[in-house]
Structure 1
């Protein structure tokens, strides 16, 4: 494949990866100025049976149809062409320059709460868009999320497991089981995915970012709730509650859409600021004088008034004798400044 040209336009220059259903190549679009990069997915399955091959063919043909319906969105790669040539099938997509999130999340390092909220919001924004078209991705995981080099935004890629969601078909025969262990919810593992199945995957990515643990290493408690909070995990109760709801075992207890999850995260994002403001204003509320200082002030003030009253009494007594009246010279000495009189003074 290297150095070959697909459809007389896309020149293969490098292999990007391979899987059970084919290979992915980096190519140059020789029909555009500057020959910009693009991604070529080659359908080359290694099926174990005829039925598996049929499923693989259907999924590969479904991907370009869905991507074409999704039109243009900033956080989803655009389809450029679908080529059938020499009994081979190729899907050509926009190339996202950057790195996938497995390089960030699988290292075991922990994200800050603010970084996790930002990450979740970007993934959910792309998910909200595809849910508006009743589409389930079915394989949201770190390696299918690209950190775009030019702006740092997270782009959702690889729609090879995509499925059109039809509520009326939820009680019919199960669909093909597909997805990745740890990010795949129980109902999807049984062949009955729905829109909230992708929300489960996003929630597990958020937990992985906070804890540094791979989702398939986490345990469930007796109520089938994911056990992930401990003393080493720094997270607010508000964000923890959102993540817990995103990864509920029963899908009807989760957020039913990405829009609902985004609204919940929006509230969490504003709550820490209110807490900080409350903490900063606390010293002003408690900045009353200490009880020791108030007692001293009370004692000084009361002593002053007692001496003043005694002096006035003696002066009146001397004047009333009438033997040798004296001229009383007014005292021009400034009066002491009176201390604040507190309730007990």
Structure 2
């Protein structure tokens, strides 16, 4: 067993059954770990049916007053964002509680039963174009609401979208990296929170430099579209040394119309992208019937011939990888 798996198993045993929040929430599983802390699945013992919930613990790296102040602001901002967004949109988890215990901070959120979108994107498998279009429209619609509340998510990726079990809608999770639009006069700690947060491969260039824009989220959606259309993880796609653009168009069978829309979504410079989710949605709607009809026919043929291999298939990794090499993961584990 790998060393990391052994540590996680030991941590599971250590925390299993532990209670937090004045004894209200009983941990039943570690859901994920990261640089800022841990995420648990817990049961709410103060409710008769003991429903599951997601508990995020933020552990400051230092107990120095300056660092605790920064952690408190990060914690409070995520709580405020979830409170505002989750209460107004069905595809964003609701905030149930937040509290501080022994200089560690906890957020309690609605548990979303389902599976991460990353489960639907195996390496080497290209999704049919009609499915890609449906996914893009749904993500952009949810993002449109988020942006209307003056919030940039900054960590759009397949593992942060949950396919909800009861209705198959996509739910956007993990608002720990959000950035609200700031006004002049905000203190240095808030601006510090904007630096270098996101996931490599999906993160726009300006976001990596600490200057996220609303359409930095659109860039991430575009990178997800490329992953769906090529079957290749974003980190494995080459970038043009002169332009900075990702080279991917020759690795998909998608229509020219969709390729052009996706390319504009993920243009290297943010001023050359769609400036809003509405613009991107309108571009998707304007794709002509001639663009999507071949893909629709392909989908129908695929459904009519179960057991046949998908015609849209690629090799999961570049030829640079030799047999027996350890293949790198495509992205971090899902968190809520």
Q: TM-score, normalised by structure 2?
A: 0.74
The total of aligned residue pairs comes to 274
Aligned residue for 2:249?
229
Q: State the distance in 1 between where 2:62 and 2:154 align.
A: 20
Query: Among residues 44, 52, 58, which one is paired with 1:43 in the alignment?
Result: 58
The one of 23, 26, 43 aligned to 1:11: 26
Change in 2 beyond 3 A, CA 1:274/1:110: closer
Give the CA deviation at 1:45: 3.8
Shift in Å, 1:145? 1.3
Report SS of the residue matched to 1:220. Answer: coil
**Runs of 5+ unmatched residues, structure 2:** 1-14, 297-336
Could you list the per-position Cα deviations for residues 114-153 of structure 1 after superposition, in whole angstroms to 9, with x for gaps in the alignment? Answer: 1111111111111111100110011111121112122222
SS of match in other structure, 2:286: helix
CA contact (8 A) 2:17 2:27 kept: yes
Q: Distance in 2 between matches of 1:52 and 1:177?
A: 17
**TM-score with structure 1 length normalisation?**
0.72
Higher relative contact order (CA 8 A, sep 6+): 2
Q: What's the C-alpha RMSD, in Å, of the aligned pairs? A: 2.7
Could you tell me how far 1:80 is from its partner in structure 2?
Answer: 0.6
Secondary structure of the residue aligned to 1:147 is: strand
CA distance in 1, matches of 2:263, 2:59: 39
Give distance in 2, aligned partners of 1:14 and 1:118.
Answer: 33
Cα distance in 1 for residues equivalent to 2:288 and 2:55:
39
Q: Deviations over 1:216-247 (max 9, x none)?
A: 222233333221011x5121111111100000
Residue range with higher mean Cα deviation, 98-107 or 43-52: 43-52
- Counterpart of 1:96 in 2: which secondary structure? coil
> Quick one: distance in 2 between partners of 1:128 and 1:213?
27
Cα distance between partner residues in 1 of 2:65 and 2:262? 40
Q: 272, 291, 294: which is aligned to 1:253?
A: 272
Matched, 1:159 2:159: no
Q: Is the 8 A contact 1:17 1:24 kept in 2?
A: yes
**Unmatched runs of 5 consecutive residues or more in structure 1:** 278-345
Counterpart CA distance in 1 for 2:293 and 2:229 is 22
105 and 55 in structure 1: CA distance in 2 versus 1, 3 angstrom threshold? farther
| Cα distance in structure 2, aligned partners of 1:257 and 1:83 | 35
Could you say which residue in structure 1 is the equivalent of 2:45?
30
